[in-house]
Amino acid sequence: MRLNLLFIPLFFGSLISINACQQSADAKETLETQEKSNKDLANTETVDTVKTPVSIQSGVLTGDIILQTSQSSQSKAIQLATNSEFSHVGVVFLSKTDTMVLEAIQPVKFTKYRDFINRGENSAYTLMRLKDRSPITLEKQSQLHIVGSQYVGMDYDWLFDWSDNKLYCSELVYKLYKTVLGIELCDPRPLKDYSLNAELVRQKLAERYGKTLPLDELMVSPEDIYRSNKLMQVED
C-alpha cells in the first residue's frame, strides 16, 4: 500500500510533464506556421493574397473607398481638370491575413493597404464609406471580390473612355459598385464638363488625343466619387 501511495504522485507528475511538453511543441508548431504565413504574404502581391472577406479590421471595412494624391506624371493635370486635391482612388478589401486595395494602375491589381497609402503624396489619404452599408452584406462582399478579381490584369485606360476593355481608377470604382451593388455613386459627365483650359491639362489632352478631343465621352473622376451624396468620410 505504501508503494502505491508513492507511485501516485510520480504517475501524475509524469502526466503533467508530458502534457507541458506537448503544449510547448504545439505552441512552437503554431508559431512556425504563423511565421510561414507571414513570409508567404510578404512575397505575394496578386489577387491570391485576398482570401474570404471578413467584416472589420482596424476600423476599415470591405467596400470602403480610398482616395489620394498620386505621384504619377498625370496627377497634377487630373487635379487641375477636376478642381480637386485627389488624383487616384481604389476600393478596400479585407481578408484574414491583410488589407488590400483594388486599384487601376498598369495593370489593375490588388495592392497592400499600407503600400497604397505610402505611395501617395505625403502618405495622405481620405477614406469614404457608404452612409447606408446595409447593401454590403457578407455575400455582397464576396461578390465584390469575385468581380474585382476579374478586373485584375486589365490594362490601364490612358484615354479614359467608357468601354470595359480597359479601366482607369475612378471608372473601376464606379463600375464595381454599380455592377455588384446596383449603386451609382455619381453621374458620369462628358469630358467637356471638366476644366480643360490649364496649360498642363491641354498638353496632356494633346498627348492622348491629338487635335480631336472626345468632348462628349462620359467620364468619372476621383473628385466625382468623393463628392457622392451616398458616401461619408470616415477615419480608419
Segment 167-192, tens digit of pLDDT: 999 999 999 999 999 999 999 999 99
Cell of 126: 481620405
Is 60 in the same domain as 164? yes
Quick check: pTM over 0.85? no
Is 190 in the same domain as 202? yes
Range of the domain at 25: 1-43
pLDDT in tens, 93-120: 998 889 999 999 999 999 999 999 999 9
pLDDT in tens, 129-139: 999 999 999 99
pLDDT at 58: 56
Is 78 in the same domain as 24? no
Q: Report the CATH number that the domain containing residue 209 is assigned in CATH.
A: 3.90.1720.10
Whether the CB-CB separation of 43 and 98 falls below 8 Å is answered with no
Whether the CB-CB separation of 189 and 174 falls below 8 Å is answered with no
Tally the domains of the chain. 2
With bands split at pLDDT 50, 70 and 90, how would you rate the model's confidence at 236?
A: confident
With bands split at pLDDT 50, 70 and 90, how would you rate the model's confidence at 89?
A: very high
pLDDT at 33: 43
Chain center to CA of 193: 29
Instruction: Give the span between the Cα atoms of 9 and 144, in whole angstroms.
Output: 60
Is 39 in the same domain as 104? no
pLDDT at 234: 93
Strand partners, 129: 232
Which of 17-21, 40-44, 120-124 is predicted least confidently? 40-44
Start-end of H helices in the chain: 2-42, 75-82, 113-119, 138-151, 169-181, 199-209, 222-226
